[in-house]
Structure 1
Amino acid sequence: MGNCSNHHLGIPPAKGPHAVGCTDFMMDHTSKGSFFRLYYPCHEAEKAEKPDWIPCREYFNGLADFMKINRSLSERIFNYLFGSFKIPAHLDAPFKSNEKCPVVIFSHGLGAFRTLYSAICAELASQGFVVASVEHRDQSASATFFFHEKSESQTANQDLPKTSDSVQNSLESEWMYYRALQHGESEFPLRNKQVKQRADECILALDRLTEINSGIAVQNVLQTQFDWTTLENSMDLCRTAVIGHSFGGATVIESLCKEVKFKCGVALDAWMAPLDDETFPRVKQPIFFINSEKFQWAGNISRMKKLESAVIQRKMITIRGTVHQSFPDFTFLTGDWIGKLMKLKGEIDPELALDLCNKATLAFLQRHLGLEKNFNQWDPLIDGQDDNLIQGTNVTVIQSSI
């Protein structure tokens, strides 16, 4: 499976002092439940399995639909390009931390899903964070799934193929794919409704982690090998942040507005269109906008600037030579010409770009979560002090005099 010549490509391993584990969590099997991938510091395991980057073929189908290409053709192409890649984390490895971990909730972009930002999430976990990468059920993910109860006749007929050997036999999986805009449909009402649901899903993930931390027994519908009781009293829920890319960047703003337990937010190349104007003055927490050089435009930046404040820290930097897809894992998984053709790669080395993004994020999180780490060594990056960074934006915004 996958492309043999891709041996030099892959998601870079995390750089922090901790080994990284990951597991999947779904509580409440319906579409209203919480579904996320958890990244966490773990015990180094000898033979720990690394999970597939794309969990199963339905996600390839979802990406095809999102990109408006033929499913059967694209499945072969995607499988050839990406089928063999693994996430740089140990599946279901035992949790290990000598101190309480601050918590990050991560929100993916339009047409993405929970596994596509593993380089960022694994890096945060390697630096001592517990990270829940939410898979959104607002029809903005290219694909996701939930379960419904089988009918009595289906349950009685056990000759039916099981949907998954890790799920109770009484449940059957149902896939939800990306919903494209209908012809003539106005975009804002749909996206605004979605961003509100996405924020609710981020808050629900935090609520689930709060229950797990307090020792409440949780029922993971996906019967993984991970022992959730080991997370009891392991998280510092006074130190929580929300991070997201693109539509996930808008989700960061909406989540901060709705939930004061999030102490700060980092918005990666945020797409601001889904947000109501009245949301901006209601956000009271610090925000860090980390933008790519090629994606942003004046109207979008001017909406970010509505969040500028004399009393709350609001920062913005732009990484030179980056494109919108410099933040998800795709940027590491294609050769130069395909990467640039598909706009998955910018002019800058992708590892350097993400390294700057991660270090600036860690410095910002230390500052606003009150962490006692050494991330403040990267404080200058918050102000764009690096040859590969621009302080603020490269986009010219004409300020109105109103």
Structure 2
Amino acid sequence: MTHLFTLETTACGLSWFTYKIFDFIVPTNGPDLFPTRNCYTDLRRKLSLFAGMGNSNSCSNHLGIPPAKGPNAVGCSDFMMDHTVKGTFFRLYYPCVAYEDAEKPDWIPSKEYFYGLADFMNINRGLSEMIFNYLFGSFKIPAAMNAPYKQNGKCPVVVFSHGLGAFRTLYSAICTELASQGFIVAAVEHRDESAAATFFYHGKTEEPEEKEEESPPPKPNHEAPENLVEEWMYYRSLKPGESEFPLRNKQVKKRADECMKALDILIQINSGKKMENVLGTEFDWMTLANSMDLCRIAVMGHSFGGATVIEALCEEVNFKCGIALDAWMLPLDDEIYVRVKQPIFFINSEKFQWAGNIMHMRKLVPPDSSSTQRKMVTIKGTVHQSFPDFTFLTGNWIGKILKLKGEIDPQVAIDLCNKASLAFLQRHLGMDKDFNQWDHLIEGKDDNLIPGTNVTEIP
């Protein structure tokens, strides 16, 4: 049955409207995309989340991703090594030379990512493109695209892994903050079919026939290299009756491998080796030679990316420590826990975690442990979406109604996450000699941080 609707003209109206028509366009038997949560409720929330991200400021006076707070201006550029699906793809954030009128990249790089988000949320692509094109047009990442690297000693390195249904640009508030504090951050876009969308290239076998009286397609944010054809990979949902663990376990291993490949590329770039970037960006990658402190390398990730952190620590000793944001532990083999030796920091939201998930974290962070190597904290008043950029782009009252925002301001939540992450990295990468900030955090002296977890009745 076909339903015809009239779209509201503001982001707030469109948010309300989309929320109301959810039952018409999203089936109630869609995939359970957030573990242990009711799939219908969460699909409803996901659609409403994106509907609240309008480019109108009528919903809130604070829409937009906030600029980083560190002493360095932030630049970013994309790197793709090997054009095939087996290659590696990441966005690099780095301290840059500040200059006026710097180009800031779109938060959503191209319309194909809209399609991927639609697939992830199990909604119609045609409808999603119409809505998303309206809603996302004005949002930019607070970083200068392809800006010159700022030479200022050797930078520690962080490899970042996104969550299920996300992609490389959706954690810019965290990645830009680390870069502003002097880190080089590689945000990997995974090709295990857990990203909402990603792309690669294949060889061009024949030229397409020219068609008359047909308007040219819209120009994408990137140009396909000569003699190569762009190919997109979209999110793969669970098939009817399919067990989740085998798929996610296979994916987490590939994700960890992709993080290690990204690190290997950075190591080669640091050595001064000329690396071919398939994307042919304007950024001069040779300026990064001898810019990285390869004794100070960490891995970080959110949700499925949190599980990827654990897997990567197990497989790569060059990762000296790891930070897992609201980690989803289901994809991991039981035998992996005894193999991880590096320091780990779990930063959880108050509303997402449950006993079974915390039980697996405690295999790595025993509740009676006095060691500073393995710690867990919970940020009060936060939800699972407090870590990606979502809450910055949703009007305050819309976020509250749809329960996409926690009880504390999104800026406060992400500032706490960044502050805690930075303190951990400084402590365990040997960057800070007094450790006062780290001790202050883990002793529970911040009113919004709970040492350990708020989840009770854990076996």
TM-score of the two chains, using structure 1 as the length reference: 0.94
Evaluate the alpha carbon distance shift between residue 2 and residue 208 of structure 1 in structure 2; reply closer, same or farther with a 3 A threshold: same
**Aligned match for 2:164, one of 80, 103, 110:** 110
Letter matched to residue 3 of structure 1:
S
Shift, 1:183, TM fit: 0.3
In the alignment, what sits opposite 1:314?
A: 374
1:274 aligns with 2:334: no
**Aligned match for 1:370, one of 419, 425, 430:** 430
In the alignment, what sits opposite 1:154?
A: 207
Shift, 1:343, TM fit: 3.9
Bigger drift between 347-356 and 119-128 goes to 347-356
Evaluate the alpha carbon distance shift between residue 158 and residue 17 of structure 1 in structure 2; reply closer, same or farther with a 3 A threshold: farther
In the alignment, what sits opposite 2:94?
A: 40
The separation in 1 between residues aligned to 2:222 and 2:309, in whole angstroms, is 35
Q: 2:62–2:392: 8 Å Cα contact kept in structure 1?
A: no
Letter matched to residue 122 of structure 1:
T
Letter matched to residue 56 of structure 1:
S
Q: 1:82–1:333: 8 Å Cα contact kept in structure 2?
A: no
Shift, 1:398, TM fit: 3.3
Evaluate the alpha carbon distance shift between residue 225 and residue 102 of structure 1 in structure 2; reply closer, same or farther with a 3 A threshold: same
Q: 2:365–2:376: 8 Å Cα contact kept in structure 1?
A: no
In the alignment, what sits opposite 2:266?
A: 209
Equivalences, count: 398
The separation in 2 between residues aligned to 1:375 and 1:333, in whole angstroms, is 34
The separation in 1 between residues aligned to 2:190 and 2:378, in whole angstroms, is 27
Larger radius of gyration: 2
The separation in 2 between residues aligned to 1:327 and 1:165, in whole angstroms, is 27
Shift, 1:72, TM fit: 1.8
Shift, 1:77, TM fit: 2.3
Evaluate the alpha carbon distance shift between residue 163 and residue 332 of structure 1 in structure 2; reply closer, same or farther with a 3 A threshold: closer
Q: Deviations over 1:66-117 (max 9, x none)?
A: 0111112222322333321000000000000311000000000000000000
Evaluate the alpha carbon distance shift between residue 165 and residue 256 of structure 1 in structure 2; reply closer, same or farther with a 3 A threshold: closer
**Aligned match for 1:3, one of 46, 56, 70:** 56
Q: Deviations over 1:208-244 (max 9, x none)?
A: 0000000111010111110000000000011000000
**Aligned match for 1:240, one of 283, 289, 297:** 297
Q: 1:23–1:37: 8 Å Cα contact kept in structure 2?
A: yes
The separation in 1 between residues aligned to 2:427 and 2:443, in whole angstroms, is 13
- Aligned pairs for 1:180-219 (under 5 A) are 180-219=237-276
The separation in 1 between residues aligned to 2:457 and 2:228, in whole angstroms, is 52
The separation in 2 between residues aligned to 1:200 and 1:116, in whole angstroms, is 21
Evaluate the alpha carbon distance shift between residue 283 and residue 32 of structure 1 in structure 2; reply closer, same or farther with a 3 A threshold: same
Letter matched to residue 186 of structure 2:
A
Q: 2:379–2:450: 8 Å Cα contact kept in structure 1?
A: yes
Shift, 1:378, TM fit: 4.9
Q: 1:59–1:144: 8 Å Cα contact kept in structure 2?
A: yes
Letter matched to residue 261 of structure 1:
N
In the alignment, what sits opposite 1:74?
A: 128
Q: 2:93–2:184: 8 Å Cα contact kept in structure 1?
A: yes
Shift, 1:385, TM fit: 2.3
Shift, 1:372, TM fit: 4.2
SS at match of 1:48: coil
Shift, 1:374, TM fit: 8.2
In the alignment, what sits opposite 2:310?
A: 253
The separation in 1 between residues aligned to 2:160 and 2:303, in whole angstroms, is 12
SS at match of 2:157: strand
**Aligned match for 2:354, one of 287, 290, 297:** 297
SS at match of 2:84: coil
Shift, 1:339, TM fit: 1.9
Question: What stretches of structure 1 of length at least 5 have no aligned partner?
Answer: none
SS at match of 1:36: strand
Shift, 1:276, TM fit: 0.3
In the alignment, what sits opposite 2:144?
A: 90
In the alignment, what sits opposite 2:396?
A: 336
Evaluate the alpha carbon distance shift between residue 40 and residue 163 of structure 1 in structure 2; reply closer, same or farther with a 3 A threshold: closer
Shift, 1:341, TM fit: 4.3
1:288 aligns with 2:345: yes
The separation in 2 between residues aligned to 1:85 and 1:373, in whole angstroms, is 39
In the alignment, what sits opposite 2:29?
A: none
Shift, 1:60, TM fit: 0.8
Evaluate the alpha carbon distance shift between residue 15 and residue 158 of structure 1 in structure 2; reply closer, same or farther with a 3 A threshold: farther
The separation in 2 between residues aligned to 1:163 and 1:12, in whole angstroms, is 25
Q: 1:292–1:324: 8 Å Cα contact kept in structure 2?
A: yes
Evaluate the alpha carbon distance shift between residue 300 and residue 50 of structure 1 in structure 2; reply closer, same or farther with a 3 A threshold: same
1:145 aligns with 2:199: yes
Shift, 1:262, TM fit: 0.2
Evaluate the alpha carbon distance shift between residue 85 and residue 163 of structure 1 in structure 2; reply closer, same or farther with a 3 A threshold: closer
**Aligned match for 1:360, one of 402, 415, 420:** 420
RMSD: 2.1
Q: 2:427–2:438: 8 Å Cα contact kept in structure 1?
A: no
**Aligned match for 1:381, one of 441, 445, 448:** 441
